Amino acid sequence: MIKILDWAKKYTSKSVVFLLGSLWLIFVLAPIYFMVLSSLRRQGTYVTANPWVPSGPLTLHQYYVVFHSGLGTYLVNSLLITAACIILSLALSLSASFRIIRGTSRFSKTSLRLIVFGLAIPIQAIIIPIYVIIDKLGLYDTLTALILVMTASAIPVSVLIMVSYVRDIPRELIDAMATDGANEWVIFRRLILPLSGPVLATVGIYNGINVWNNFLVPLVLTQSNSTAVLPLGLYKFQSQFGIDVPAVMAAVLLSAIPLLILYIGMRKQFIRGLSGIAMR
């Protein structure tokens, strides 16, 4: 009898978890399904009796329209900026974290406080001084300005996370390599970098999403279509195709594909990184 009750409790708990998970999956996939279906319709056939059921001719014409209306340029710009910001922020943050952990001087502790202090200053509060500096440097309306500003804004939180992660790497491993004659560059390249894969993936995805979706910095620091990024492009599309709902849906879906690819490619490391950070 006890075994039957235990089995019933176990089966019930699994059923509840499965049910809740299925409901959550439906809530997540339903808007995506609606957007995909809407983007495959034309404006004239968009309004139907049941918008959730495929009806009428479906076409990829809206994707062709938005891509040749400038979305290709915006997409390339966003890809370049996001990739550059992820690489620079990860390289600088991990190097700084390793130097802070290895350092024993007061400068190392002070530098950590100064870097983390950047979290207390939102970029919205200093966007005007940033604009003045970028303009004085002659970098206004360039992709370089966006890369520098958004990389700098990503470093404080990246260093805060990575310092905690690198600090938990066994000190004995570092000391053993140092005893064998390895310098700090060798220790960083052969020990710290391979062991930091999970936290690099986690921070990389976090920074990538923030850079990809950033609207304020490109709005203030750029003005031409050749340097516009996807958030600005979607805003322009909303104005240009305000009554063409399928075209707007197609643009939004195309803008979300790179982020989905980034997550799928790094999901294992991302989950490992979240698990490791949660245990600290």
Distance from C-alpha of 213 to C-alpha of 149, rounded to nearest angstrom: 14
- In terms of average pLDDT, the best of 36-45, 107-116, 163-172 is 163-172
| Backbone φ and ψ of 54, nearest 5° | -60, 125
Q: Are 182 and 250 in contact (CB under 8 A)?
A: no
Reported confidence tier of residue 93, pLDDT bands at 50, 70, 90: very high
| CA dihedral for 226, 228, 230, 235, sign (positive or negative) | negative
CATH superfamily for domain 61-278:
MetI-like (1.10.3720.10)
Question: And the tokens for 173?
Answer: 């491993």
C-alpha R_g of the chain: 24
- pLDDT of the residue at 143: 93
Distance from C-alpha of 119 to C-alpha of 122, rounded to nearest angstrom: 7
**Average pLDDT in the chain:** 82
| CA dihedral for 79, 82, 88, 93, sign (positive or negative) | negative
Q: Which of 127, 145, 130, 139 has its CA nearest to residue 81?
A: 145
Distance from C-alpha of 242 to C-alpha of 24, rounded to nearest angstrom: 31
Segment 215-247, tens digit of pLDDT: 999 999 998 888 888 888 877 776 665 567 788
CA distances from 193 to 102, 200, 276 (A): 15, 9, 16
Q: Is 50 helix (H, G, I), strand (E, B) or coil?
A: coil
Domain ranges of the chain: 2-39, 61-278
Average pLDDT estimate for 100-125: 81
Segment 28-66, tens digit of pLDDT: 888 888 888 888 887 777 766 677 777 767 888 888 888
Distance from C-alpha of 79 to C-alpha of 75, rounded to nearest angstrom: 6
Distance from C-alpha of 11 to C-alpha of 38, rounded to nearest angstrom: 40
Reported confidence tier of residue 278, pLDDT bands at 50, 70, 90: very low
Q: Say if residue 106's pLDDT is above 60.
A: yes
